Amino acid sequence: MKMSANTADKDNNVSTNKNISLPISRVRLIMKSSPDVSNINQEALFLTTKATELFVQYLAVSSFNNGSGKGSKSLSYSDLASTAEENDTFHFLTDILPKKILAGDYLKTLEQIEDEEADI
Amino acid sequence: MAERPEDLNLPNAVITRIIKEALPDGVNVSKEARRAISQAASVFVLYATSCANNFAMKAKRKTLNAADVLAAMEEMEFERFLEPLREALEVYKKGKKEVSEQKRKEKEKKETDNDKSREEEDDEERMEEEPEAENDAEEEEVEN
């Protein structure tokens, strides 16, 4: 049993080195941290790893193209946060990519809300 | 298993390289942005796993397979990944087949060598024909 698992791992490493740059073992660890998941076959593992690479590319490119740093050739956190907020496909990221606001702006918004409530 | 939380992060160097390769030359990616993309990638893995797992459970299977992952991509509205993923899977399958074929050949060679040295010791005449026949049989098996 242990032997066959080892051989499968080796096969995997050799054949994926050309197509994949992310470590498949780390991706498996993340997948296995999901409570309901019991088994993942090699192809599913490979596809998820590949998909994650595509995702990283797509998120970076979308954020760069929609972001404000196109002229200055830079990609910043706020470009990513805006993409998460504005693009439906990336909406699941809003929790981990919250928009940053200045404390001063936040206080102003609070004041505004208070004023509005006072008006009512 | 995952003892430390950093075990659930993807390696920064690799993430940085993928980002650099995707963007036009000379774009500066802030450290904060890189970390955010890396975290987003981990969340993506979890989200995809949970979607794929739903498909597997619906089909009363305990093992996630390639079809589950592809279905998950559709569900997550990442249809644009389907085509490249299918292509990558084909290459992967082919590569795997080649690797196992190569391994088999290496193993055979070893066995043949072992046979040779053994046969050289006790029976020199038989060694020429036998390993050849063995090779043919094995190769057919692989193709099927």
Concatenating the DSSP letter of every residue in B8-24 gives GSPPHHHHHHHHHHHSP
Choose between B122 and A90: higher pLDDT.
Answer: A90
**Residue A105, C-beta contacts closer than 8 angstroms, at least 6 positions apart:** none
What pLDDT is attached to residue A109?
A: 85
In this complex, the residue of B2, B40, B92 whose CB is nearest that of residue A33 is: B2
Within 8 A of B13 by CB-CB distance, chain A residues are none
d(C-alpha B136, C-alpha B143), whole Å:
11
Residue written as token pair 């599913």:
A44
Do the chains contact at B37 and A60, CB–CB below 8 Å? yes
Task: Kindly tell me if the per-residue pLDDT of B73 is higher than 70.
Answer: yes
- A68 by DSSP, 3-state: which? coil
How close B67 gets to chain A, by Cα (Å)? 8
Task: Kindly tell me if the per-residue pLDDT of B62 is higher than 80.
Answer: yes
Within 8 A of B55 by CB-CB distance, chain A residues are none
How close B114 gets to chain A, by Cα (Å)? 22
What pLDDT is attached to residue A93?
A: 96
DSSP state, residue A98 = P
Amino acid in position B5: P
Alpha-helical runs (H) found in chain B: 12-22, 31-58, 66-75, 82-122, 130-143
Q: How confident is the model at residue A14 (pLDDT cuts 50, 70, 90)?
A: very low
What pLDDT is attached to residue B121?
A: 55
- From its phi and psi, is residue B77 left (phi > 0), alpha (psi between -120 and 50) or beta? left
pLDDT in tens, B92-117: 999 888 888 888 888 888 887 776 66
pTM of the model: 0.74
| Highest-confidence segment of A4-8, A39-43, B7-11, B97-101 | A39-43
d(C-alpha B75, C-alpha B54), whole Å:
11
> Considering only alpha carbons, which residue of chain A is nearest residue B43?
A93
What pLDDT is attached to residue A102?
A: 79
pLDDT in tens, A65-112: 999 888 889 999 999 999 999 999 999 999 989 887 778 888 888 888
> Considering only alpha carbons, which residue of chain B is nearest residue A53?
B18
d(C-alpha B18, C-alpha A22), whole Å:
9
What pLDDT is attached to residue A27?
A: 96
> Considering only alpha carbons, which residue of chain A is nearest residue B28?
A74
**Residue B68, C-beta contacts closer than 8 angstroms, at least 6 positions apart:** A44, B52, B53, B55, B56, B61
- Nearest residue to B46 via CA among A12, A99, A85, A35: A35
Cβ-contact B109, A120 below 8 angstroms: no
Amino acid in position B59: A
What pLDDT is attached to residue B98?
A: 87
Within 8 A of B11 by CB-CB distance, chain A residues are 22-23, 26
Do the chains contact at B63 and A58, CB–CB below 8 Å? no
In this complex, the residue of A44, A53, A54 whose CB is nearest that of residue B64 is: A44
In this complex, the residue of B15, B77, B89 whose CB is nearest that of residue A43 is: B89
Average pLDDT of the residues of chain B: 83
Do the chains contact at B66 and A41, CB–CB below 8 Å? yes
Average pLDDT of the residues of chain A: 84
Q: Percentage of chain A with pLDDT > 90?
A: 54
Which residue out of A3, A25, A30 would a mutagenesis test of the B interface target, given it has the greatest number of B Cβ atoms within 10 Å?
Answer: A30
Amino acid in position A20: I
Q: In this structure, what token pair is assigned to residue A71?
A: 């002229």
Residue written as token pair 């296995």:
A32
Q: Percentage of chain B with pLDDT > 90?
A: 60
Q: In this structure, what token pair is assigned to residue A52?
A: 């994650």
Choose between A52 and B115: higher pLDDT.
Answer: A52
Residue written as token pair 């797509």:
A58
Do the chains contact at B95 and A15, CB–CB below 8 Å? yes
Q: What is the mean pLDDT of residues B123-131?
A: 49
- From its phi and psi, is residue A78 left (phi > 0), alpha (psi between -120 and 50) or beta? alpha
pLDDT in tens, B26-43: 999 999 999 999 999 999
What pLDDT is attached to residue B109?
A: 84
